[in-house]
Amino acid sequence: MQNLRYLIDSALSGRQPSDLFARVQSAAHDADTSPFSRRHPTQAQLEANSYRTGRVDIQGLPIRIENPRGSRREKPGKFSNLMLHHYGDIEGTVGNDGDAIDVFIGPFPEMPVVYVVNQVGRDRAFDEHKVCMGFASEADARMGYLSAYAPGWDGLESIVRATMAQFKWWLQFGDKSRPFTPDVLPYEGQKTMDKVLWNSQAEPVTKPLNAIIYELRGEDAGHGLMLDALSMAELMSDPDIEAVPVLDAMVVEVGRLQPKMEVLQRIMAAAGETVKPTEMAISDPVRYKGAAQVMVLFTMSDGQTVSVWFHNPDTTPAKLMPLDDLISWKWMLNKKDVTIVVAPERGRDLNPREVARRMMRLVERNSAAFLKANAKVAEKAAQLQALDTEIAELQTELTDVQRQIEVAKVEAEIRSMKPAPEAAPSFDDFLAAVVIELSTKGNMSAAEAKKLTDDEVTNLVRDGFDDKTPAAQVADRSWRPTSAARPWSAPTPLRASS
């Protein structure tokens, strides 16, 4: 499957199969461990690593291939794993384990980036580095590494991407006893591509257009600059850009630039078949690395952008004068600098109109991949927007519920401050109060009061008690005694008269 993928990729990019991939394949199967080898290493040779290996140069690194793809990497009595990628080491290096640094080789050995695995032991302490070369992405490199071990292997502590130049620097100067981290690497500028020659029909003659697009994307080192449109705000956010006073001379120059760029936009529209420029914006003059510059941004109908940087190359580069010629020195497709491709001449004699026609070839060829990549971005943005809307609605609902809770708390607090209403006294309470009042006033003792019948209580209440006494409240009721001669042993409610 990987061979088929490579052959398809080769056909699209114009490469011949007799390139680096083919050399790696041939070298890999020179190893004694190859399934096609007539001699296989003995157990003793496997233990001592003394069998024949394949050798190949990959981007200037001498690689020794111990196990080609499809073979088994094994140590008798210890492990035996089927290899899905070529495996070996980098000759002339010494890793943390005292041996040469191990390397997995993926299906794209010309990739300008590597992925370095920081492997740990059972105690989770750093063990050694494993390098993954020729993989299209970090995810592919991770899968390639893990495929060489038994399921459940947890030795991968981290994986770090580096350009080939950074990796080579680390091989020479880096500390192999410590984990590989980005902060120990030198700054890596953009790789300079080979110049591309064009004919009068704005077609490349040194290599197919597909191959140019392939190299431009590969040069991104995974950043996706070719698929990410550029805005004027991002264009002006470069830390090396500083605003300069807009003098009259500059205004005049920018005024002259406007009609020229409108002509350039029409040329680009005529050159494009499926993609056309729809908008054009000119920046204010700025100072970039000591020179006065003006940037022009063209927005395409599919969302891509083309930006052109102009500067004044005469003896006063920090100023723009009314008669100064502005020279285009940098052309960008989206966020990718493609000057070396579309304007390899880099001279005053280069016609910007011709560069615009070349640029539109790249724009159209890159359009499908750009739309596909940004459709996913738009889908994710829509999902995030829907989540934001749902969160806002839930937040509003939560706020309303919290307000209701606070209102309920206040109402409950107000109710707790009001005195509770007294319960109405029962009829037994009234009769008991009568007995207490009779004995308190000295009319009779408590013992005598308890012996009174209901009729006697009624007569006494009506004859001698104030209206505000409990006895008066009892007397105001219409009731009849249950028994004319019931002793007052215990208060009993009187029933209402019928």
pLDDT tens per residue, range 186-223 = 655 444 456 677 887 878 887 888 888 877 776 665 56
Stated pTM of the model: 0.41
Residue 249: is its pLDDT beyond 50?
no
State the average pLDDT for the chain: 76
pLDDT for 389: 87
Predicted confidence band at 100 (pLDDT cuts at 50, 70, 90)?
A: very high
Predicted confidence band at 15 (pLDDT cuts at 50, 70, 90)?
A: very low
Residue 29: is its pLDDT beyond 50?
yes
pLDDT tens per residue, range 310-340 = 876 554 555 555 556 677 778 889 988 887 7
**What 3 state SS string does the chain have?**
CHHHHHHHHHHHHCCCCCCHHHHHHHHHCCCCCCCCCCCCCCHHHHHHCCCCCEEEEECCEEEEEEECCCCEEEECCCEEEECCCEEEEECCCCCCCCCCCEEEECCCCCCCEEEEEEEECCCCCEEEEEEEECCCCHHHHHHHHHCCCCCCCCCEEEEEEEEHHHHHHHHHHCCCCCCCCHHHCCCCCCCCCCCCCECCCCCECCCCHHHHHHHHHHHCCCCCHHHCCCCHHHHCCCCCEEECCCCHHHHHHHHHHHHHHHHHHHHHHHHCCCCCEEEEEECCCEEECCEEEEEEEEEECCCCEEEEEEECCCCCCCCCCCCCCCEEEEEEECCEECHHHHCCCCCCCCCHHHHHHHHHHHHHHHHHHHHHHHHHHHHHHHHHHHHHHHHHHHHHHHHHHHHHHHHHHHHHHHHHHCCCCCCCCCHHHHHHHHHHHHHHCCCCCHHHHHCCCHHHHHHHHHHHCCCCCHHHHHHCCCEECCCCCCCCCCCCCCEECC
In the predicted model, what is the mean pLDDT of residues 368-387?
81
Predicted confidence band at 269 (pLDDT cuts at 50, 70, 90)?
A: very high
In the predicted model, what is the mean pLDDT of residues 76-89?
88
In the predicted model, what is the mean pLDDT of residues 126-130?
95
pLDDT tens per residue, range 225-241 = 788 888 888 777 766 56
Residue 138 or 473, more confident: 138
In the predicted model, what is the mean pLDDT of residues 350-378?
83
Predicted confidence band at 69 (pLDDT cuts at 50, 70, 90)?
A: very high
Predicted confidence band at 493 (pLDDT cuts at 50, 70, 90)?
A: very low
pLDDT for 119: 96
Predicted confidence band at 78 (pLDDT cuts at 50, 70, 90)?
A: confident
